[in-house]
């Protein structure tokens, strides 16, 4: 609408359902996601509000793209699921050498197919993160980033036994080194506490290195 306000829409059909001619498949009857995002960019402050509605057929439920706990991804154990996804993202530049930001997301889901005539099942899953970034630290194009948050996890579920007892935590540190204008190398590490929302599971430490080529 202006240089600082924008609105975008999306529609994504499941890659397996969209080309199928079966009655419950196709571009609009199979699995899909549809939504909109409102963006604000006044000066050094950026913010977005997002809404997405999704439908996942039975046996193909993955509300968070294989991110987060199993119960968050598939709250009803394989039953067809519809969900309303709400999200807010923001970032604020603290001058030219630092920025702070983060996001919060919540998903309200409901079972669409029940074998017995019981009441509808519903579940709630949440995720959030906060990040601190230092652009050009140690050289132009470099970036030091720190992230802390909680991956998607179920906070309420009508299905007994499909709700995490403990909250998972994610801690991440990375440093991007700009080799030149076209190539950058980013070593980093992340640490997961209470994987799968269970403090009895061993914590996870993963190191990673990424090389990015820009053409």
pLDDT of 115 reads: 58
Residue-level pLDDT, tens digit, the chain, 215 residues = 998 999 999 998 877 767 767 666 666 667 889 999 999 998 899 999 999 999 988 888 899 988 999 999 999 998 989 999 999 999 999 988 899 999 999 999 999 876 554 558 999 999 999 999 999 999 999 999 999 999 999 999 999 889 898 999 999 999 999 999 999 999 999 999 999 999 999 999 999 999 999 98
Q: How many CB atoms lie within 10 A of CB 207?
A: 8
Q: Tokens at residue 153, please?
A: 């996890």
Paired with 92 in beta bridges are 45, 100
pLDDT of 24 reads: 66
pLDDT of 83 reads: 95
Residue found under tokens 């992340």: 190
Conformational region of residue 40, where left means phi above 0, alpha means psi within -120 to 50, and beta covers everything else: beta
How many Å apart are CA 5 and CA 42, to the nearest integer? 8
How many Å apart are CA 21 and CA 47, to the nearest integer? 40
pLDDT of 203 reads: 97
pLDDT of 117 reads: 47
């Amino acid at each position: 609408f202006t240089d600082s306000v924008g609105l975008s829409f999306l529609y994504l059909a499941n890659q397996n359902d969209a080309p199928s001619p079966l009655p419950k498949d196709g571009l609009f009857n199979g699995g899909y996601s549809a939504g909109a995002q409102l963006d604000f960019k006044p000066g050094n402050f950026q913010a977005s509000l997002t809404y997405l509605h999704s439908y996942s057929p039975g046996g193909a439920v993955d509300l968070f793209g294989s991110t987060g706990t199993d119960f968050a991804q598939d709250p009803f154990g394989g039953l067809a699921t519809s969900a309303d996804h709400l999200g807010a993202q923001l970032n604020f530049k603290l001058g030219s050498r630092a920025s702070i930001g983060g996001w919060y997301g919540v998903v309200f889901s409901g079972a669409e197919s029940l074998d017995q005539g019981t009441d509808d099942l519903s579940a709630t899953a949440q995720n959030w993160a906060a990040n601190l970034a230092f652009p050009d630290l140690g050289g132009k194009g470099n970036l030091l980033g720190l992230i802390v948050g909680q991956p998607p996890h179920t906070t309420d579920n009508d299905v007994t036994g499909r709700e995490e007892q403990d909250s998972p935590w994610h801690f991440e540190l990375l440093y991007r080194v700009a080799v030149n204008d076209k190539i950058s190398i980013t070593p980093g590490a992340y640490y997961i506490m209470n994987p799968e929302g269970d403090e009895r599971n061993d914590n996870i430490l993963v190191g990673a290195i990424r090389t990015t080529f820009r053409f």
